Structure 1
Amino acid sequence: MAVLELVNIAKHYGAITALRDISLSLNAGEVVGLVGDNGAGKTTLVKIIAGNFHPSEGEIRLDDKPVQLHGPKDARAKGIEIVYQDLALADNLTAAANIFLGRELTSLARTPAEAEKPVHVRRRGWRWLVPEILDYRGMYARAGELFSELKSETRPRDVVRRMSGGQRQAVAIARTRLSNPKIVLMDEPTAAISVRQVAEVLALIHRLKEQGIAVILISHRMPDIFAVCDRLVVLRRGQKVADKPVAESSPEEVTGLITGAIEYA
């Protein structure tokens, strides 16, 4: 059974149609490459799945149930995480602090879900906000476990500004693992990093797949798509023009689909 299904998704901005009649499915442990030229609608589609945008038409289904996503926090609660192209990391903080940013563990909140809820107590008719102490030891330990699961050499106490591109991606991916997601969306994770760091990021994607997590990967790099993806979806001018196993396609065919030299596949 598919963990995610999009049925006839469309997105309109006034007279402009960014997406038209997009349908696709995503299975557990599957990596789908989403490719297309600039302006093809890739990021818009991913942001709809992540809850940033609402579709103008169509239906989103998770585990075969129709859902409406009322924002990124709602999507996260339903098991959807996203790694943005700019990673959205705080350079002055440690790896562990970035992973738990906004979901810090405290003396009263032992899990990320608990950390997102304010803690109050009632006493003689008054309601008091309980003071909390950050549980640094717990956050460092959990961050270390996440990096170990991803087989990354990044350390929880490392400061982000001193990290390589591959290490930064490891922090961003570890942050998605904090909530045990079913789906991870990745927007150009290998852009502007070295060949060695690209290999590190692709290895991280393999780790997610091995753990049964479904991944949608946006990338302009054909070698990356054919290295880690099981299936590819090609968008052109807001429409889906191909949805097929990677083994049945080629970089030349994908390039033709993106440019319009090949209409459909």
Structure 2
Amino acid sequence: MTTPAAPAAPGEATTGVLSLRGVSKQFGAVAALTGIDLDVAAGEVVAVVGDNGAGKSTLVKILSGVYTPDAGTILFHGEQVTLQSPAAAHQLGIATVYQDLALCENLDVKANLFLGQEIRPWMLDDIAMEKRSWELLRELSARIPTLGIPVAALSGGQRQTVAITRALLGRPEIILLDEPTAALGVAQTAEVLNLIERLRGNGLGVVMISHNMDDVRAVADRVAVLRLGRNNGVFDARQVSSEDVVAAITGAADNAVSQRAARRAATPREGQENP
């Protein structure tokens, strides 16, 4: 059951950037994803939700170039693309921040931001890297005290900020966030949600994998539900209730539809008698 996506709110960008059509992925006898459709526009946050085993992680890995789909089409600005590797996805303009963040706690903020992509005409250009670091952090209104502080000394929210800022170095158009508020306290969660809103305000399309409905309702424009590897609803986050989303996640909505159909089938039509 997939309902049409609601239009963006007034003033929001609606330029289509990323689309999936009929994307499927099989691992042996297990169908991880079957016929997945998904659309992400510039300047919007799409939350992808679902129970364990719904296919969320597989979807992220397909979008980030880790997995290649067995069937279906990926479109970027309307053009069909093939994401053969994470490097290919990054070069195209899709950046991913995984739940584990992949930060080196013994290195400082600047070293983590440029790890593996250092600026070096012939030797490390510390001045250029420091300037670029502060530019990105200011764009996000990030609360990082100094670039020289070790990541180990940062809060969970600040670490998430560093990971997201690093993803922005390549000027992506789409950023994938895998459970960005998992294991964070209330204040740190609020900090990350504000950061997501700034990403949207800067015109990025954001795909947020989450299991926290409060976080989803706080920042998402649309909510895409996966159930058992299939689409099971796309909802306007401003209008749908948490109960309806949970019903789509658990399959309760499908059961209710089936029960109504069964009752209609069992109800005698006009002019007919009960057997």
TM-score of the aligned structures, taking structure 2 as reference length:
0.86
In structure 1, how many angstroms separate the alpha carbons of the residues matched to 2:254 and 2:168? 38
Pairing 1:253–2:244 present = yes
**DSSP-derived class of the 2:244 partner:** helix
1:247 CA drift (Å) = 1.8
1:17 to 17, 31, 44: 31
How many pairs does the alignment contain? Answer: 241
Deviation by residue 1:182-227 (Cα, 9 ceiling, x = unmatched): 0000000100011000000001001100110000000111011000
Q: Which runs of 4+ in 1 moved over 6 A?
A: none
In structure 2, how many angstroms separate the alpha carbons of the residues matched to 1:22 and 1:4? 13
Identity %: 47
Tell me the equivalent position of 1:45: 59
One-letter amino acid of the counterpart of residue 58, structure 1: G
Residue correspondence of structure 1 range 217-256 to structure 2 within 5 A: 217-256=208-247
1:248 CA drift (Å) = 2.5
Residue correspondence of structure 1 range 198-213 to structure 2 within 5 A: 198-213=189-204
Residue correspondence of structure 1 range 43-192 to structure 2 within 5 A: 43-106=57-120, 108=121, 132-154=122-144, 155-192=146-183
Structure 1 spans left out of the alignment, 5+ residues: 109-131
One-letter amino acid of the counterpart of residue 32, structure 1: V
1:2 CA drift (Å) = 1.2
In structure 1, how many angstroms separate the alpha carbons of the residues matched to 2:65 and 2:90? 9
In structure 1, how many angstroms separate the alpha carbons of the residues matched to 2:239 and 2:141? 31
In structure 2, how many angstroms separate the alpha carbons of the residues matched to 1:5 and 1:153? 33
Whichever of the two has the greater Rg, that structure is 2
**DSSP-derived class of the 2:208 partner:** strand
**DSSP-derived class of the 1:156 partner:** coil
One-letter amino acid of the counterpart of residue 243, structure 1: V
Given that 1:140 and 1:157 are in contact with CA atoms closer than 8 Å, whether structure 2 keeps it comes out as no
In structure 2, how many angstroms separate the alpha carbons of the residues matched to 1:225 and 1:83? 17
One-letter amino acid of the counterpart of residue 212, structure 2: R
One-letter amino acid of the counterpart of residue 67, structure 1: V
**DSSP-derived class of the 2:31 partner:** strand
**DSSP-derived class of the 2:133 partner:** helix
One-letter amino acid of the counterpart of residue 152, structure 1: A
Structure 2 spans left out of the alignment, 5+ residues: 1-14, 258-275
1:98 CA drift (Å) = 0.8
One-letter amino acid of the counterpart of residue 95, structure 1: V
